[in-house]
A and B are shown apart, each in its own frame.
Chain A
Amino acid sequence: MAPSPCAVCQTNRALILRPKNHQKLCKPCFISVFEAEIHHTITTNNLFHRGERIAIGASGGKDSTVLASVLKTLNERYDYGVELILLSIDEGIKGYRDDSLETVKRNAKQYDMPLTILGYDELYGWTMDQVVEQVGKKGNCTYCGVFRRQALDRGAAKLGVRHVVTGHNADDVAETVLMNLLRGDLPRLSRTTSIVTSTPSIVPSSPETTSHTNIKRSKPLKYAYEKEIVLYAHHKNLDYFSTECLYSPEAFRGSARALIKNLERVRPSAILDVVRSGEDMAKLVPGGNESCGNGCGGHATIVEEEEGGCGSSNGRTSGGEMASMEKQLTQTEVAAEEGLEVEITTAGTKPPNPPDSDAIPLVSGKKGKKLKGPPHGARKQPAKQTMGQCARCGYLSSQEICKACVLLEGLNKNRPKNSIEVSYDNPEESAPTVNSHEIKCTIVTQISEVEKTKGLIYNS
């Protein structure tokens, strides 16, 4: 193929083919166009205010590294007048987060930004290694996701920062749009497509001190293709770290992620199309933004704790979720439920959640992908959520006790949230002869062992 010239400068050889519009660009023009578009996203959405201190949720991965690099560049080029700091969450997974935190430490030097690393152990009294030791490798992503969601807010509050930016990209948003559509979770569809979300304080009389209930979140890379983020990092020689969470490897296998990438292969503009469609649908969600009241301005949407998330810090869905959802949908069909699933969950009636009924067979040694990701029993409510504060920790929650505190209570009582997770922790899981009696014994033994070693720890 004859080399094509850059569509912008018409001189250099084009090296990049832009997925969104098939534009062929040379390296310098690509870098400047990429940066200009992020700048455009920031200015048209009024993401930043002069004098604002902003924490970048940094994992050492491609997205947050590119975010830090681009924000530093733009802050200097366009004089935003914001102060940027790095905030990293250490889930406490040996051999995984250790290495990526080293990358964040180097980034802190490279970009001359102060860095704070906050550990799950510090925040919750549990590292993910300890959680997995107790609940097993299945279902631990729920803990990690719920804890991480709050961790950035808590970290920001600790630093006296009211705004956290994350590296969520267009692929991430498109993925969550699809997942929420398939789940029929319209309120969450509305929340996750928002470029700015906030967790405003519900108590107006609270003093001016920063608490973790009024942290603003934004996603400056929301319209940036993952492909271009990786290319930007490559062409700018950025120092980033790629890894797989040890507890959720190959999260992209058979997930909505794979679907998104296949769509992109067929029609690259599909990713942004899905994002835009998600935004348009979100506008139609009744009550989507009404609960915002006067606590937040413009397009900010209240966000409650997410329950998903695994591996990477950007809250991807766990692998096999598509498969398990497909199964769930089939079973729901079989159950011949009338009306929409979303409408059922309000009424305190038991929602149809067939995968839970598989709980018992799981212990029979089958290693099949029966149930992954968050337990489906805890389906969220539709539009009528009323936001309050967790009675224990004060975090914004639609429940009396927030999800993290519920999970923690289970952990601290050495009583895992449900039996599925425990059964997977059984070292004999691969032995097909395990019966329920043996499992009960294992649980009892585990509990008493853990009780010996662990007290009831909780920092609020």
Chain B
Amino acid sequence: MSAASSEDVIPITVEFSGGLEMLFSNQRKLDFSIAAKDESGLNSNVAFLVRYLCDNVMKDPRKDLFVLDDTVRPGILVLINDADWELEGEDKYEIQKGDNILFVSTLHGG
């Protein structure tokens, strides 16, 4: 694989909370870079990020606790730079450099 130039990737921060971190090896915060273009050459959006997290980051086999019917499981809130993703176009939101994307579960108990 050729070394990706800085234009090909987007550095972002992904956070998990509300119990979701348990599905991601107890990691609460991840800083990494994601490809700027998705599988079909379109600008990477949140749907692509979720697929990426499922395939590459999540070690827990219980994928359905994070993703259900190809989207984030109902009951898990997604905040893009602190804004509800429903205000940002949900999974169609195109990821920008330096974005902070937070997944919070409301499903876990106290």
Contacts and interface: CB of A to CB of B under 8 A. Distances in A.
A261 interface: yes
Contacts of B82: 15, 27, 235
A311 B109 CA distance: 7
A258 B65 contact: no
Nearest to A262: B74
A316 B89 CA distance: 32
Interface string B67-88: 0000001110101001110111
Nearest to B86: A17
Interface stretch (B5-13, B15-23, B35-43, B50-58): B15-23
A14 interface: yes
A61 B109 contact: yes
Interface string A240-252: 1111110000111
B110 A242 contact: yes
B106 interface: yes
A258 B74 contact: yes
Contacts of B108: 242-244, 312
Contact of B109 (A4, A17, A245, A258): A245
Contacts of B86: 17
B24 interface: no
B89 A1 contact: yes
Contacts of B109: 59, 61, 242-245, 251, 311-314, 316
Interface residue tally of chain B, by bracket? Answer: 20 to 34
Given A261-B107, A312-B109, A231 B19 contact: no
A64 interface: yes
A314 B109 CA distance: 8
A258 to B, nearest CB: 7
A64 B109 CA distance: 11
A372 interface: no
Nearest to B105: A242
Interface string A58-80: 01111111000000000000000
B34 interface: no
Interface in A158-196: 167, 171
A258 B75 CA distance: 8
Nearest to A240: B110
Contact of B84 (A15, A253, A261): A15
A241 B93 contact: no
B47 interface: no
Nearest to A311: B109
Given A24-B87, A250-B65, A60 B93 contact: no
B106 to A, nearest CB: 5
B110 A313 contact: yes
Nearest to B79: A234
B74 A264 contact: yes
Contacts of A100: 110
Contact of B110 (A15, A59, A257): A59
Nearest to A248: B109
Given A17-B87, A264-B75, A312-B108, 20 more contacts: A1-B89, A13-B83, A14-B87, A15-B82, A15-B84, A16-B84, A24-B87, A62-B106, A226-B106, A227-B106, A229-B106, A235-B82, A242-B108, A242-B109, A243-B19, A244-B109, A245-B109, A261-B75, A313-B109, A313-B110
6 contacts: A1-B87, A17-B86, A62-B18, A234-B102, A253-B64, A258-B75
Pairs A-B, 4 closest by C-beta atoms: A61-B110, A312-B109, A242-B19, A261-B74
